[in-house]
Amino acid sequence: MNTEKLVLDLAVVLPHIPDEQDTCVERLVSLLQDKGMARAHVVREDGKGRLCLHYDPERFSLAEVRRLAAVAGAALGKRYAHESLRVDGMDCATCAEVIEHALTRLEGVLEAKVSYAAERLRLEYDSEKTSRRAVERRLAALGYRIVADEARVSRWAEHREMVLSLAAGALLLAGWLGSLAGAPPAVSLGLYWAAYAFGGLFTLRDAVQSLRVGRFDIDTLMLVAAAGAAVLGEWAEGALLLFLFSLGHALEHRAMDRARRAIEALADLAPKTALVRRDGAEVEVPVQELLRGDRVIVKPGQRLPADGKVAEGNSAVDQSPVTGESVPVDKSAGDAVFAGTVNGEGVLEVEVTRLATESTLARMVRLVSEAQTQKSPTQLFTDRYERVFVPAVLIGAGLLIALPPLLGFPFADSFYRAMAVLVAASPCALAIGTPAAVLSAVARAARDGVLIKGGAHLENLGRLTAIAFDKTGTITAGRPRLTDIVAFDLPESELLALAAAVESRSGHPLAQAIVTAARERGLRWQDASDAEAVTGKGMRARLGGRRIEIGNLKLFAGEAVDADIAAQVERLETLGRTTMLVRVDGRYAGLLGLMDTPRPGVGEMLARLRALGIVKTVMLTGDNERVARAVAQAVGLSEVRASLLPEDKVAAMARLVEEHGLAAMVGDGVNDAPALARATVGIAMGGAGSDVALETADVALMSDELAKLPFAVALSRAARAVIRQNLFISLGVVALLIPATLSGWAGIGVAVLIHEGSTIVVVLNALRLLTYHGE
């Protein structure tokens, strides 16, 4: 059967999906093949996912195929909903698992991933079987609710846990003072009961929810211990336990809110309204109502409301909120600008190219917010540990209650110690230490123009010892520059002016590099005539009656070239230069050397990486060995692998991972997409201007420069150090408290004081990452 092919942008057909791995892609392919397509599959072109449709032209016209794809995509988008929602009411790490368990049991919910640290729910559901309203009802039944991202919780909702905790503390103090003052026991007991009620309200709610989904968690341990203290008549100690536990929770929650606000602050960078020129008049409209093609006017000092390109005006724009660049960037007509950046002293008229929801800043906020739904290896370990450890502690406490009395020990003593062990063994600090550190580090990185897409990538970045770099556009600027001028019998300035006069008639990158160099030196020249381009060799032209020829040795093939000139050519080419001889009226006048030069500061960047413990820096390039080695030697790369095809880069990356266990790849996110995917951590440059970079990479440097890479590595190493410290603190406290409570040295009061203290310490330790400043 004769077939034709149509390739469509996947993001256009399925605009609602978060990435190409989404199951809606498989559904789309299956649906279109059922509609009669000979074949439907996804390919990557220019780093983007595209839908490739093979069809019988005798059965379908091109327009019909486009319509079928659009209808199928719309149908899937209508049926399968993907949402990232903010959840209010979570006050413990276990709440996330409770919500996940409850929602995944709801018919029609296909995916539910919750991050307590970021208060986010990533949800996919079949709208023919359930609805968002049903999801909200299920959450409400558990005591949680969905709120808008921009919503501000009420002061009561924000501070209720702290208020109830302090009320429990006040009642506990009143009961204790009453007993000291000789008040009737019933009065003190009543105050202790009230302290139980205020201090245990949230603990009881969370414990009941966990038990409903078959989980024994930290709240269960605390509630059992408090109930045990009450059974023994130790009302004061039980009230103290619930007071300190609820106070610790409230302080932990407020500290985590600080880290969340660091992420929410990114969203507040974009203005809420924009001044738009419509129908000859200037009107102010909400940013959400901006359309592609609108002209927005940005006055000095204002933030840009949308991504776009400068239509009129000149100004320096502070891009640090998005890219982390410390120096304002000059902008003029045709230059790209981003929402949330700050205009300098000029007035800019900007043509909108992206809607508010599609802007670089909006995607940054969304990706950073969702990063916490991807758990790090340490977080997965602590989750597994908690699932096993908490039931084991409950079983151990039961044995501690039952066995000692059989051996003659008083039941009250063994029961009390069992309750104290429940408190001592509760892994609160362990549960919150890692997500708090990951959230703080991801927020801090985003503030400096580095987008890290999850805890796994953060930890892996901090463990790296080897990094591979693409050459063109990554280590180098991606365009040739004039590096050498060797004049034989003319002044350098005259030689360069002659060459520029001829090359100004060509659009070749090498020719434009010569013209640019001449202009930078302030040189002037006459217009050349009778210009003739010799493909792959050079140019010939006339200038003021003189015959000028400029090109490589192939242009002069079959003609004698002096041995000294040939030696000069060989010397420059050994250094990685592309050489161009200049001949005037049959006499060789000079030699020019050009090269795709390294970006400024690359050598310093590599030195900083070595100081951080990166022992292997490798260049992977399709360029020839001689040029690649010249660049690598100039900047200080430790190894070169040249003349590589795209599949060779993937194989080289695989070998690097095998040799070092972990290895990163740094590229521009377009041609390097397969190698980025094969690396342990794929790092793309220029994320602020590239959809591809944000889609393909695990880490995106928002500015088109490598200077942020050492900062990202150092921050990740600092985050790993904080995570290890938090693990040591949390496990160390448990290891010390369990024998202390078993031996009777520490009672319930001491155990809960140290336990809650350690939880607050690990959260505050994690928040230090929000103020991290560098290596």
343 in helix, strand or coil? strand
Rounded Cα–Cα distance for residues 150 and 250 (Å):
23
Residue 265 exposed, middle or buried by CB count within 10 Å (0-12, 13-18, 19+): middle
- The answer to whether the CB of 259 falls within 8 A of the CB of 440 is yes
Q: Structure tokens of 540?
A: 């010939």
Q: Structure tokens of 432?
A: 């919150």
Residue 384 exposed, middle or buried by CB count within 10 Å (0-12, 13-18, 19+): exposed
Residues in the chain: 775
Backbone angles phi, psi at 743, to 5 degrees: -80, -10
- The answer to whether the CB of 122 falls within 8 A of the CB of 19 is no
564 in helix, strand or coil? helix
DSSP 712-746: HHHHHHHHHHHHHHHHHHHHHHHHHHHHHHHTTSS
Q: Structure tokens of 300?
A: 């000095």
- The answer to whether the CB of 364 falls within 8 A of the CB of 451 is yes
Backbone angles phi, psi at 146, to 5 degrees: -90, 130
- The answer to whether the CB of 555 falls within 8 A of the CB of 538 is yes
Catalytic residue among 294, 318, 470, 672: 470
Q: Give how far the C-alpha of residue 581 lies from the chain's centroid of Cα atoms, to the nearest Å.
A: 48
Q: Structure tokens of 202?
A: 């949230």
Q: Structure tokens of 433?
A: 């230490």
Q: Structure tokens of 703?
A: 């500015």
Say whether 470 is catalytic: yes
Q: How many C-beta atoms lie closer than 10 Å to residue 330's C-beta?
A: 12
Rounded Cα–Cα distance for residues 235 and 590 (Å):
97
Rounded Cα–Cα distance for residues 99 and 723 (Å):
25
Helix (H) or strand (E) holding 127: none
DSSP E strands in 453-505: the ranges are: 466-470, 476-487
State the pairing for strand pair 329-331/315-318: antiparallel
DSSP 668-691: -SSTTHHHHHHSSEEEEE-GGG-H
Cα dihedral sign, 517-518-522-527: negative
State the pairing for strand pair 664-667/681-685: parallel
DSSP 624-664: -HHHHHHHHHHHT-SEEE-S--HHHHHHHHHHHHHHHS--E
Q: For the sheet containing 616-620, what is the strand order?
A: 450-452, 699-701, 681-685, 664-667, 466-470, 616-620, 639-641
Rounded Cα–Cα distance for residues 352 and 344 (Å):
19
- The answer to whether the CB of 657 falls within 8 A of the CB of 678 is yes
Question: 46 CB contacts (<8 Å, ≥6 apart)?
Answer: 670, 692
Residue with tokens 């980025």: 676
Residue with tokens 């000859």: 280
Q: What is the DSSP letter of 661?
A: S
Q: What is the DSSP letter of 303?
A: B
The rounded radius of gyration (Å) of the Cα atoms in the chain is: 33
Q: Which residues are catalytic?
A: 470
